[in-house]
Amino acid sequence: MDKIILASNNEHKIKEFKEILNDCEIITMKDIGFRDEIIENGLTFYENSMIKAKTIMEFLKKKGIQASVMADDSGLCVDSLNGEPGVYSARYSGIHGDDEKNRQKLLKNLANKKDRTAHFICSIVELYPDGHSIHAEGRTSGSILHETKGSNGFGYDSLFYSNELKKTFGEATAEEKNSVSHRAKALEKIKILRTK
């Protein structure tokens, strides 16, 4: 079974990766003893995912560990807000990971907007010890509701009405979300690239 170091401490993301890449052993940053904060100062999802992957790869090399590193950066892009929150999705309100405050800010910024179309993007890289990498992007479309619906998932899931599921990600089961989500689509592409 392939071992992959996943450059994430987000329990929700880790769970999704394990469910989708169920033929690989997913090892987290916590598992390898990485405790530092990674500064994600890229301007695109791809740049941020590569920053994370390279940081963890450097850490592994210092420890003498040979393994590939997978990292993702993902976020919500709302058309009428010029793509906001985008790469700032997790820290939209100014506090990293405060889902409730992030959702409140989004609703406030959309208060006078008729166009509520949006999409989630996920950019995933897998970086190998020899320096080469593979990259894939996934996208799923929908719209932002006026109030939350459902308590599953995380982040903006309870506000994001999926065009494919005809319900919010917050109302969807893990299996339903993983069948259409941006992360699932990117991972399916990564799976194909890994076999080439």
Catalytic residues: 73
d(CA 70, CA 60): 13
Burial class (CB in 10 A: 0-12, 13-18, 19+), 181: buried
Q: Per DSSP, which regions of 33-192 are E strands?
A: 68-78, 117-127, 133-144, 160-162, 167-168
What is the rounded (10 degree) CA torsion for 18, 134, 156, 86? 160
Q: List Cβ neighbours of 191 (8 Å cut-off, separation of 6 or more).
A: 21
Tell me the CA end-to-end span of the chain in Å, nearest whole number.
Answer: 17
Tokens 């006026």 -> residue: 146
